C-alpha cells in the first residue's frame, strides 16, 4: 500500500515542512509521494512551492483561489497512492517524519479512514492577540484517540487524516461549499451515511497557524453560517446532528422554545461579547454561548428561505 501526502496551501511557507517530510521517503517504502496544491497563491509563494519539486514531489497550481473543497479534490485526482494523507499547511511535526508515517501503517490494515489528531503547544502563545485560538484549540480540539473514538464521526477532521483513495473517489468534498467552514463536518456525515467507519489514533500534528482573535471570530461567523446552510440541505438531519454538538444542543433548545431568546440576546449583546473575546481575558464558556446564540440567529434567517435538502 502506497501513501500520497497531500498539502493544500495558500500563501503559506511550507518549505521546512516539505523538507522534513521528504526525509522519510527513503526510509519508509510505503511513503510514495508528496503533492502540493497551490490554491491561487501569490507569485512569490508559487515560486517557493515549485522550488520544492523533485522526484516524487510535485506541485499543482490554480491561477485563482478555488476553495478548500475544490483544491483537495484536485489533489486526490493527481495522487497515485492507494491512501491519501491530507494535512493542513500550517502544521509542525512533533517528532520525526519517519516516526509520523510509520504510525499510520498498522491502522491502514484495519481501517479505510484514519484520523491522527491535532496538537497545540502546552504554553500560551507570546502574542496575546492569539489567545482565543490557542485556548479553543488546546481545550476543545486537542483530544486523545480514546476520546475521539467515542464519537468517531463527530471527531472527523481533515487537518490530519488518511483516507483510502477508493473511498475518497466515491465521497469527495462538496465543491458547492465556497465559504469557509464545516467541509469536514459534511464529509464526516457522508461517511456515516455510507456506513464507513472512522478510526482515530494518536498521531497528532502541531497546529502552528494561530489566527488573531478578530480573524478567528470572523472565521467562526463564516463557519456558523455555513453550518446553518448545510443543516437545511442535508436529507437526514438526525444523522447530521449526531456529528455536530452545536446541532444537538440547538435541537434541545428548539424543543423548549428557547432559540428565539438566544437569537435576541445575540443581536443585542454581540458587540459586547466580541469585545470580551478579543481580549486577554478569554472565556471559553462565553465563546460557546456566542457561537450557540449566533447559530440560533442564522437559523431564524435561513428557516425563512425554505432551502430544499440536497445532500
Written as nine digits, the cell of 253 is 433548545
Can you give the pLDDT at residue 307? 54
Written as nine digits, the cell of 289 is 454561548
SS3 content of the chain, % helix, strand, coil (to 5): 50, 15, 40
**CB–CB of 142/185 below 8 Å?**
no
For the chain, count helices (H), then strands (E): 13, 10
Written as nine digits, the cell of 201 is 489514533
Could you tell me the CA-to-CA distances from 237 to 257, 303, 309 in Å, in that order?
19, 14, 9
Can you give the pLDDT at residue 310? 43
Q: Give 306's DSSP letter.
A: T
Residues 6+ apart with CB under 8 A from 83: 1, 2, 3, 4, 104, 108, 162, 163, 164, 165
Confirm whether pTM is higher than 0.85.
yes
Could you tell me the CA-to-CA distances from 121 to 21, 129, 172, 277 in Å, in that order?
21, 16, 32, 21
Domain boundaries, the chain: 3-210, 217-303
Can you give the pLDDT at residue 29? 96
**CB–CB of 310/233 below 8 Å?**
yes
Provide the b/e sequence for 145-165 (b: ≥16 CB within 10 Å). Answer: beebeeebbbbbbbbbbbbbb
| Chain centre distance of CA 3 | 20
Residues 6+ apart with CB under 8 A from 242: 151, 153, 154, 192, 248
**CB–CB of 236/192 below 8 Å?**
no
Average pLDDT across each block of 10 residues of the chain; the chain has 311 residues. List them in order: 97 96 94 97 96 95 90 96 97 97 97 98 94 96 96 92 96 76 87 95 97 96 92 90 93 96 97 95 96 96 66 40
Query: Which residues does residue 8 pair with via DSSP β-bridges, in sequence order?
Result: 37
Could you tell me the CA-to-CA distances from 39 to 69, 117, 127, 207 in Å, in that order?
11, 24, 28, 20
Decide: helix, strand or coil at residue 64. coil
Can you give the pLDDT at residue 125? 94
Written as nine digits, the cell of 55 is 522526484
**CB–CB of 183/174 below 8 Å?**
yes
Can you give the pLDDT at residue 155? 82
Could you tell me the CA-to-CA distances from 1 to 85, 112, 124, 297 in Å, in that order?
12, 12, 39, 47
Identify the residue whose cell numbers are 490530519.
160
CATH architecture of structural domain 3-210: Alpha-Beta Complex (3.90)
Amino acid at each position: 500500500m502506497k501513501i500520497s501526502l497531500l498539502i493544500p496551501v495558500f500563501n503559506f511557507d511550507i518549505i521546512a515542512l516539505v523538507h522534513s517530510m521528504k526525509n522519510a521517503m527513503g526510509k519508509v517504502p510505503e511513503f510514495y509521494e508528496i503533492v502540493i496544491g497551490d490554491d491561487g497563491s501569490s507569485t512569490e509563494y508559487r515560486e517557493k512551492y515549485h522550488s520544492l519539486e523533485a522526484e516524487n514531489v510535485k506541485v499543482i497550481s490554480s491561477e485563482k483561489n478555488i476553495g478548500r473543497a475544490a483544491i483537495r479534490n484536485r489533489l486526490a485526482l493527481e495522487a497515485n497512492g492507494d491512501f491519501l494523507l491530507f494535512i493542513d499547511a500550517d502544521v509542525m511535526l512533533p517528532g520525526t517524519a519517519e516516526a509520523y508515517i510509520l504510525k499510520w501503517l498498522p491502522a491502514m490494515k484495519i481501517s479505510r479512514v484514519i484520523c491522527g489528531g491535532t496538537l497545540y503547544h502546552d504554553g500560551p502563545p507570546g502574542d496575546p492577540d492569539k489567545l482565543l485560538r490557542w485556548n479553543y484549540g488546546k481545550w476543545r480540539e486537542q483530544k486523545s484517540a480514546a476520546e475521539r473514538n467515542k464519537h468517531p464521526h463527530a471527531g472527523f477532521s481533515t487537518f490530519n487524516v488518511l483516507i483510502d483513495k477508493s473511498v475518497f473517489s466515491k465521497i469527495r468534498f462538496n465543491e458547492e461549499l465556497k465559504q469557509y467552514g464545516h467541509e469536514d463536518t459534511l464529509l464526516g456525515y457522508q461517511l456515516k451515511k455510507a456506513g464507513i467507519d472512522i478510526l482515530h489514533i494518536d498521531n497528532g500534528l502541531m497546529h502552528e497557524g494561530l489566527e488573531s482573535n478578530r480573524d478567528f471570530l470572523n472565521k467562526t461567523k463564516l463557519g456558523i453560517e455555513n453550518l446553518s446552510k448545510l443543516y437545511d440541505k442535508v436529507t437526514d438531519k438526525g444523522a447530521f446532528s449526531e456529528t455536530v454538538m452545536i446541532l444537538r444542543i440547538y435541537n434541545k433548545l428548539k424543543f423548549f422554545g428557547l432559540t428565539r431568546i438566544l437569537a435576541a440576546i445575540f443581536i443585542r449583546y454581540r458587540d459586547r461579547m466580541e469585545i470580551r473575546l478579543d481580549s486577554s481575558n478569554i472565556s471559553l464558556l462565553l465563546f460557546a454561548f456566542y457561537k450557540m446564540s449566533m447559530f440560533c440567529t442564522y437559523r431564524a434567517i435561513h428557516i425563512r428561505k425554505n432551502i430544499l435538502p440536497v445532500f
